[in-house]
Structure 1
Amino acid sequence: MTDTPESPSRSWRDSLLIYLHPRVASMAFLGFSAGLPYMLVFSTLTAWLTEAGVTKASIGFFSWIGITYSVKVFWAPVVDRFQLPLLGRLLGRRRSWMLFAQLLIAGGLIGMSVTDPVGELEWIAIFALVVAFGSATQDVAIDAWRIEAVSLERQAAMSATYVFSYRLAVLMASAGALHMVSFATWPGVYLIMALLMGVGMVTVLLSSEPTVTGHSDAAFLEQRAQDYLERSAHVARPVRNAVAWFIGAVVCPFVDFLQRYGAQAVLLLLIVGAFRITDISMASMAMPFYLETGYTRADVANISGLYGAAMTVLGGIVGGVLVPRFGLLRVLLAGAVLAAATNLLYSINALVGAELWMLVLTISGENFCGGLAMASLIAWMSSLVSSDYTATQYALFSSLMTLPGKVIGGFSGIVVEQVGFFWFFIYAGGLGVPAILLVLWLMLRTRTGSL
């Protein structure tokens, strides 16, 4: 990728035509495959277990399955470096891992569909864990394929397309599944979802493997693993091979990142960690705010759910158009500012009260700006990774992206109890200021040639 984050060069027409690129179109179907399993091991599964009469205590333990998505960085090096036998030779490294993960997901969903949640709850948990592991692995492989498949200027369009189809799949696996239960059984619904994973499988088979060129710096790092093998002939071969693989697959990706960016690596990681604090930290208080303000569940479901998802998709699409037109860092800065500022709409809503027009305005602002911000953030993070260690480095970024917000968000209820919703959302907006300042600092260093 030779484009620079600050190199807008396309007309509006050319920016829009990016969405017709074959690999951008393929991203729509891969995003659907990525989004489909997520709700099937969370809220949709809890609905099935509740209706089956499983105790709340048992259902609560199923939330631990979600940890799988947060620790995918630990096996991302395997996805990055290990080529699957047979499938790897037929499809290439990225596509083989995507197909393998999709087969795991479909197999886990089929397993859940033939299992009794009351008499065989432990098997439901095992199959759900298989689905979650396959889903997280698919995320790693799809992210790597997305970054390697197109140039930097198309990354925002790729991420916007991904967000659109991912959201569509989430609706299918949540609201769609709940509607299906009215004319089918829960096992039947999960079997249908397993069949829908065929969308991603067909896309993988019809897509092409990205061509990636190695870099000399990575080759130098890989030589360190070879040096270790030559210096440790006295160590048992299995141990030597394992240590050498660890150096090449785990140590080298992080050393490569630090060597390429030097001291600036700290700034880049700070931006990744700070960018989404403002929206993640307030997310758990959004639903209590809606209900305590006086909105009905139907209002929240229709406006925050369906309409909000549409606005997120629209924001992502607009972000995908703006990046090639104005440059990545400018759109990233706009996303950081808008994500923080839209919290103020919630504060205004707290003063106005349960007015539907105000809820529409609030959801429109938050979700549209959030979609735009995410499209630019994903594209920017994609520009940071090395093609030699795509999966490992991006998995690090995606894990770091959510961690600080989740930690701070754990205290959101305490803040609301102390100061109320009006001041809480102002506080949440203020949490976005560090990200804005960090992006401005990055832009300044980029323009002065310090980065």
Structure 2
Amino acid sequence: MSFKQYLSPRVYPLLVLGVASGLPLALTGGTFQAWATVAGVSLKQIGFLTLVGIAYTFKFLWAPLIDRYAPPILGRRRGWMVIAQVLLGVALIAMGVLNPVQDLIWLALLATLVAFLSATQDIAFDAYSTEVLDKDERAAGAAIRTLGYRIGMVLSGGFGMVMAERWLGWGGMYMVMGALMFLFAFVSMLSPEPKESQAPRTLQEAFVVPFKDFFSRPEAWAILLLIILYKLGDAFAGALSTTFLIRGAGFSAEIVGWMNKILAVIASILGALFGGALMNKLGLYRSLMLFGILQALSNLAYWLVAVVPQNLPVMALAVGFENICGGMGTAAFVVLVMGLCNVKYTATQFALLTALSSVGRVFLAGPLTPPIVEALGWPSFFLLTVAIALPGLVLLRWHKARIEAIQ
């Protein structure tokens, strides 16, 4: 893969659109945790706040509507992206008006709405990026959108916490993030039009045929299990990572924010670009295996933070290593999902596959992490997350031939 592919007019806009896709996730996840933690909300309540992201798991339920209907302007993909981005801006600004101690229920409801709109944006963006890229641009496109996605998470995560603690307060920071979504809507309007595939002609075709098409494949259920398990260890390690660094390792929210801002951006750039380049050399299967092993090993870095508390270099190593490995693994995962989708039903099938990848994060990692941590302590918990990652790697090896055929 040459550097020229990153400069393709179909590839480089995915960087900014990836930022738009990644920005809301931390605002209903890690940053939301930090806000609640600093405000004094209990660990049990914080654990259940992770359930606000349930929309990411069930987004395949309304993805057929995105496949079937197109807004009156900008087409099926860009039109839905713009609508979701504008509404996200409004909802995030509304969150900034509230307080987690006095208005926790209303904040949770608004965060759930943000997650729903963010999932809708992801449905349209995933279909857009799959359809706008030529096949030989998929590795570059997956890498650059992964880079953008992780930068978006850092902006609303690490940098967002610094903004909240030092300058704007938590509410003001949420309002700034909402204003950014309006800017991203403008970028979506200017992005190139993807190759238009034929839309489903009826609602029945939109809702039934994409699932029938996918589940008629003999390996369908095994592939779905692989998608759930591949990032499960990563999901457990990251479920309460912000709370761990603040409350478990003893760092201030501002220090955690600065570390995430500086190191996470650099590491995300290295991970996404290096991962995209390696995929062309190694192939999809070997990339998934190597990056999956690295994802599991990155959890050991957080174990080290837990046993050597308040050691800034060790924490910096953990944050940097996690972002490099996470960026590489996500880039390979996106290429896998692109290869599994029928282009006629891209939005629905992509939504199904990526939604299932969040099952572990939403239904297992979020609710189960607090009691596991309370029972085992942080060091043993992070060792356990490495073991949780192993079944996904075993299943990946089992499906080697199928994945090489996708490549």
**How far off its partner does 1:80 sit?**
1.2
Is the contact made by 2:138 and 2:335 (CA closer than 8 Å) also made in structure 1?
yes
Identify the match of residue 141 of structure 1 among 124, 141, 146. 124
1:341 pairs with 2:324:
no
Note the alpha carbon deviations across 1:246-276, whole angstroms, 9 max, x for none.
Answer: x3111111111123xx221122112101101
Length-normalised TM-score, structure 2: 0.81
- Give aligned-pair identity as a percent: 31
- TM superposition shift of 1:343: 2.7
Partner residue in 2 for 1:314: 270
Q: Over aligned residues, Cα RMSD in angstroms? A: 4.0
Residue number among 287, 301, 314 corresponding to 1:358 in the alignment: 314
Question: 2:384 — aligned with what?
Answer: 427
- CA distance in structure 2 between the partners assigned to 1:211 and 1:450 by the alignment: 21
Q: Show the counterpart of 2:134.
A: 151
More deviation, 376-385/433-442: 433-442
Please give the alpha-carbon distance, in whole angstroms, between the structure 2 residues aligned to 1:382 and 1:176.
31
Whole-Å Cα distance in 2 between the matches of residues 187 and 304 of structure 1? 20
Cα contact 1:76–1:392 (8 A) shared by 2: yes
Aligned-partner Cα distance in 2 for 1:349–1:393: 39
Q: Determine if contact 2:305/2:315 at 8 Å carries over to the other structure.
A: yes
Offset at 1:39? Answer: 4.5
In 2, Cα distance between the equivalents of 1:120 and 1:351? 36
Q: Secondary structure at the match of 1:411?
A: helix
Alignment match, 1:80 = 67
Q: Residues 151-190 of structure 1: matches in 2 within 5 Å?
A: 151-173=134-156, 175-176=159-160, 179=163
Asked if residue 18 in structure 1 is aligned to residue 5 in structure 2, the reply is yes
The residue type equivalent to 2:235 in the other structure is I
- Kept in 1, the 8 Å contact 2:26–2:156? The answer is yes
Gap regions ≥5 residues in structure 2: none
TM-superposed CA distance for 1:55, in Å, is: 9.4
Q: Tell me if 1:35 matches 2:19.
A: no
Is the 2:151–2:268 contact (alpha carbons within 8 Å) kept by the matching residues of 1? Answer: no
Residues 338, 123 of structure 1: CA spacing in aligned structure 2 closer, same or farther, 3 A cutoff? closer
Aligned to 1:277: 232
Cα separation, 1, equivalents of 2:395 and 2:329: 15
Q: Which of 212, 226, 243 is residue 255 of structure 1 equivalent to? A: 212
Q: Map 1:47-446 to 2 at 5 A.
A: 65-84=52-71, 86-87=72-73, 91-109=74-92, 131-173=114-156, 175-176=159-160, 179=163, 192-213=176-197, 245=203, 247-259=204-216, 262-284=217-239, 286-287=241-242, 290=245, 294-297=249-252, 299-303=255-259, 306-348=262-304, 350=306, 354-409=310-365, 410-445=367-402
Deviation at 1:429, TM superposition (A): 1.2
Question: Which deviates more, 124-133 or 142-151?
Answer: 124-133
Equivalent residues, number: 401
1:163 and 1:313 in contact (8 A); partners too: no
Consecutive unaligned residues in structure 1, runs of 5 or more: 1-9, 226-243
Task: Give the partner amino acid of 1:330.
Answer: R
CA shift for structure 1 position 121: 9.4
Q: Higher Cα Rg: structure 1 or 2?
A: 1
State the alpha-carbon separation in 2 of the partners of residues 137 and 305 from structure 1.
27
The two structures have a TM-score, normalised by structure 1, of 0.74
Secondary structure, in 3 states, of the residue corresponding to 2:343?
Answer: coil
> Are residues 372 and 72 of structure 1, via their aligned partners in 2, closer, same or farther at CA, if it must alter by over 3 Å?
same
Change (3 A) 1:424 1:109: closer
Task: Give the Cα separation in 2 of the matches to 1:120 and 1:30.
Answer: 32
Note closer, same or farther for the CA distance 1:325–1:290 as it changes in structure 2 (3 Å cut).
Answer: same
Distance 1:25 1:55 in 2: 41
Once the two structures are TM-superposed, the CA of residue 390 in structure 1 deviates from its matched residue by 0.6
2:30–2:242 CA contact under 8 A, matched in 1: no
Distance change >3 Å, CA 311–CA 274, structure 1 → 2: same
Question: Kindly tell me: are residues 48 and 381 of structure 1, through their superposed partners in 2, closer, same or farther at Cα, counting changes over 3 Å?
Answer: closer
Q: Give the whole-Å Cα distance in 1 for the aligned partners of 2:228 and 2:377.
A: 27
